[in-house]
């Protein structure tokens, strides 16, 4: 997403490349506002990568031809004054709009994203979040689009340094050969890694710089081959150029979110963009410049950098304002129009004055310092947003002088919590814990110990809790709905001399039934399940198995029952006692966000007890297997027809339908009683 004055290696203005930038940003806009037929619009970013690789390498190659080397100071100062000011403006505006339009529970995460965007490592943060089970409640960040800018910035840091090192190390080799060899050493490993990681870990692969370097390298190759492309016959060049346009349009229409990306599929838009640029060297007026070089395309191309910066936060804030996951077409088009206006103003009053400043051009150190200061502004904006979360209390309301004893489930009757007035929804509480902004981090220690395996992992990881030499071995196995009980089980393990062996995996219950995830076979769950069963039968050999899962049906499903018994029966035959815990009621949304926004109307955050997935088959399986037991703790989680968000000054829900660690710990005495009744002492 480089400068608006698009020039080739030969320093000639290329209106077709300027227009290609308009195509790229247009694809992204269509996709982000939800135009159905533009399902592959996200590939516009890949087109941008090719353009950036082309422009940057063309400048560097020209400098090598002219001076024999590369001035890193000059290069980085040009990037800093060009990219950082507009980015800082958008990041600061995003922080202010987040305070106004987003719930306080999101300020910390958004502030962290703004800081990471200003420091240009947001792509790695998003890559980590893509496989973080605790981040499943995270909606799209208003600065999520900065990931591609981070990739480019990291490329800008590494690529010229590699060229400088290569030129110094191989002085006796022709400069052209050094440039091509260096390019190849970057492109091929990146392409191979992209194909591999896209298949094995698609979330991180999408955001990784290492999987995208080859796309920038394609643009670099186009720049290095400039002399060759100028000799292509005009007719052939026209065919190449228009074929490239067709490939980009095909990517827009035929690719969708189900396509593994980037991987080899990204070759369609990237090679298409490369073909447009290559063809433009010799195609003349009969090439794509006839369309891309028109005034409208060039104008959009000129504002494309700022347009890319502004459009995404405005779309996300518009969604937050109207309270919808998608925008009506009229609203979406209004947001696009506003984005274009802001982009033009940013170009006119921020980008151009700084980029063309005589002082900046005369003093590279001054330009670099100015750009760095703008980045600092963006970083500070993010940090201030995080700090404001703490100053505002993160959604917690504390009465002055109040004795803060969080009872949680202990506020309910022990023998008959159902119908207890202490568990009914109320509009206001004087205080509660954990704070709404901290709810998603009120989690079992198992997460910090990496004992809740991600979706992609298949090899079991045995985690030991309680007493390592305990006389009773308790296996806790299943998805996050059993892992959430670990805080209470750990307390009981230390009291009763238990050794807890934990096997947890995201969205993967302990049974033989094949599952799907995001519309695809969840083969990793099946593989993990078989490996865990084998380990329990041969190595861990538990006295007791405690399990639960969150994807059960509300009515008895014979296939689910059979799948559970497939795993339980061989364990029971070896003397293992099976205990299943019921899944808890499922709220309609994120309770902690609702609580933060409705401190005086908490009843709007209550939800019917009978919502969400059920555990009818889980209970039926325990009845079908002699000696096994079923435990239902839901009367202490939701004692009323409507489930209260807070009981005993404790916020109950953290992430989706998951219960906070604090509330689970308050249920330890009740769980102890139920486990005793089930035969576990």
pLDDT tens-digit series, residues 520-538: 899 999 999 999 999 999 9
Mean predicted confidence (pLDDT) in 47-70: 92
CA 532 to chain centre: 29
Contact 637, 652 (CB under 8 A): yes
Q: If DSSP states are collapsed to H, E and C, what string results for 37-85?
A: CCCCHHHHHHHHHHHHHHHHHHHHHHHHHHHCCCCHHHHHHHHHHHHHH
Q: What is the pLDDT of residue 131?
A: 62
Predicted confidence (pLDDT) per residue in 628-646, tens digit: 999 999 999 999 999 999 9
Residues in the chain: 681
**Cα dihedral sign for 620, 621, 627, 633?**
negative
Q: Given a cut of 80, is residue 134 above it in pLDDT?
A: no
Q: What is the mean pLDDT of residues 451-461?
A: 90
Half-sphere exposure at residue 323, Cβ-oriented, CA atoms within 13 angstroms = 2
pLDDT at 653: 95
Spatial contact of 274 and 224, defined as CB atoms under 8 Å apart: no
Mean pLDDT of the chain, nearest integer = 90
- Give which of 591, 594, 597 is closest to 392, Cα–Cα: 597
433 secondary structure, DSSP code: B
> Are the CB atoms for 659 and 666 separated by under 8 Å?
no
In this prediction, residues 262-276 reach a mean pLDDT of 96
SS (H, E, C) 357-384: CHHHHHCHHHHHHHHHHHHHHHHHHHHH
Q: With bands split at pLDDT 50, 70 and 90, how would you rate the model's confidence at 10?
A: very low
- N-term to C-term CA, the chain: 65
- Within 13 Å of residue 109, how many CA atoms lie on the same side as its CB? 24
pLDDT at 60: 92
What is the mean pLDDT of the segment spanning 325-347? 94
What is the token pair recorded at 239? 């065919």
Q: Supply the DSSP symbol for 553.
A: -
Other CB atoms within 10 A of residue 174 CB: 9
Average pLDDT over residues 495-504: 95
pTM for this model (two decimals) = 0.81
pLDDT recorded at residue 440: 87
91 half-sphere exposure, CB direction, 13 A CA radius: 34
Q: Is 172 exposed, middle or buried (0-12, 13-18, 19+ CB in 10 A)?
A: exposed
HSE at residue 681, side-chain half, CA atoms within 13 A, is 1
369's tokens: 């310092």
pLDDT at 6 over 90: no
CB-count exposure of residue 548 (10 Å: 0-12, 13-18, 19+): buried
Tokens (6 digits) for 49: 């990568």
Instruction: Sketch out the chain's domains with CATH numbers.
Output: 15-389 (no CATH), 408-677 (3.40.50.1110)
Q: Which residue has the higher pLDDT, 308 or 555?
A: 308
Quote the tokens at residue 245.
Answer: 């346009």
State the pLDDT at residue 403.
Answer: 55
CA distance 234 to 340: 35
């Amino acid at each position: 997403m480089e400068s608006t004055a698009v020039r080739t290696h030969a320093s000639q203005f290329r209106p077709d490349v300027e227009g290609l930038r308009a195509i790229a940003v247009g694809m992204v806009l269509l996709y982000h506002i939800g135009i159905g037929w533009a399902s592959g619009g996200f590939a516009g970013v890949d087109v941008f990568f090719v353009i950036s690789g082309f422009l940057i390498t063309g400048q560097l190659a020209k400098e090598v031809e002219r001076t024999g080397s590369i001035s890193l100071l000059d290069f980085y100062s040009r990037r800093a004054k060009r990219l950082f000011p507009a980015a800082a403006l958008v990041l600061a505006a995003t922080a202010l709009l987040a305070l106004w339009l987003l719930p306080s529970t999101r300020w910390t995460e958004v502030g962290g994203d703004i800081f990471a965007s200003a420091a240009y490592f947001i792509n790695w943060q998003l890559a980590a979040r893509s496989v973080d089970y605790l981040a499943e409640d995270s909606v799209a960040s208003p600065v999520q689009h900065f990931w591609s800018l981070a990739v480019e910035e990291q490329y800008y840091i590494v690529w010229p340094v590699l060229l400088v090192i290569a030129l110094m190390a191989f002085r006796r080799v022709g400069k052209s050969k050094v440039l091509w060899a260096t390019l190849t050493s970057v492109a091929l490993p990146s392409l191979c890694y992209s194909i591999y990681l896209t298949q094995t870990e698609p979330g991180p692969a999408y955001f990784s710089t290492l999987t995208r370097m080859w796309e920038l390298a394609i643009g670099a190759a186009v720049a290095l081959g400039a002399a060759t492309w100028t000799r292509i016959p005009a007719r052939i060049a026209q065919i190449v150029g228009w074929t490239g346009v067709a490939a980009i349009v095909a990517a827009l229409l035929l690719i969708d979110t189900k396509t593994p990306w980037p991987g080899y599929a990204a070759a369609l838009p990237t090679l298409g963009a490369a073909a447009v640029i290559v063809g433009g060297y010799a195609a003349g007026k009969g090439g794509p410049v006839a369309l891309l070089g028109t005034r409208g395309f060039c104008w959009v191309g000129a504002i494309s950098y700022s347009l890319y910066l502004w459009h995404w936060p405005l779309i996300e804030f518009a969604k937050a304002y109207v309270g919808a996951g998608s925008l009506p077409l009229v609203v979406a088009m209004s947001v696009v129009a506003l984005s274009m206006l802001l982009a033009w103003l940013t170009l006119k009053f921020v980008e151009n004055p700084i980029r063309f400043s005589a002082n900046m051009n005369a003093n590279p150190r001054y330009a670099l310092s100015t750009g760095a200061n703008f980045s600092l502004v963006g970083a500070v904006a993010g940090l201030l947003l995080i700090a404001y979360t703490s100053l505002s209390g993160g959604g917690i309301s504390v009465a002055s002088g109040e004795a803060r004893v969080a009872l949680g489930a202990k506020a309910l009757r022990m023998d008959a919590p159902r119908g207890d007035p202490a568990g009914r929804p109320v509009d206001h509480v004087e205080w509660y814990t954990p704070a709404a902004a901290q709810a998603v981090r009120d989690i079992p220690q198992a997460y910090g110990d990496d004992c809740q395996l991600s979706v992609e992992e298949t090899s079991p990881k045995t985690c030991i809790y309680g007493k390592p030499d305990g006389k009773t071995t308790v296996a806790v196995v299943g998805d996050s709905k059993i892992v959430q009980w670990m805080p209470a089980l750990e307390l009981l393990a230390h009291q009763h001399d238990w050794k807890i062996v934990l096997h947890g995996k995201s969205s993967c219950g302990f049974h033989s039934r094949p599952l799907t995830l995001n519309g695809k076979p969840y083969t990793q769950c099946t593989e993990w399940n078989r490996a865990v069963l084998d380990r329990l039968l041969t190595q861990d050999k538990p006295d007791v198995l405690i399990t639960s899962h969150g994807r059960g049906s509300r009515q008895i499903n014979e296939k689910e029952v059979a799948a559970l018994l497939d795993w339980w029966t061989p364990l029971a035959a070896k003397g293992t006692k099976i205990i299943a815990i019921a899944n808890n009621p499922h709220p309609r949304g994120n309770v902690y966000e609702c609580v933060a926004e409705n401190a005086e109307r908490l009843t709007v955050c209550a939800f019917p007890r009978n919502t969400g997935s059920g555990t009818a088959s889980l209970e039926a399986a325990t009845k079908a297997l002699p000696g096994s037991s079923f435990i239902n703790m839901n009367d202490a989680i939701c004692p009323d027809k409507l489930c209260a968000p807070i009981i005993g000054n404790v916020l109950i829900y953290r992430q989706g339908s998951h219960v906070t660690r604090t509330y689970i710990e308050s249920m330890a005495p009740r769980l102890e009683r139920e486990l005793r009744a089930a035969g576990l002492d």
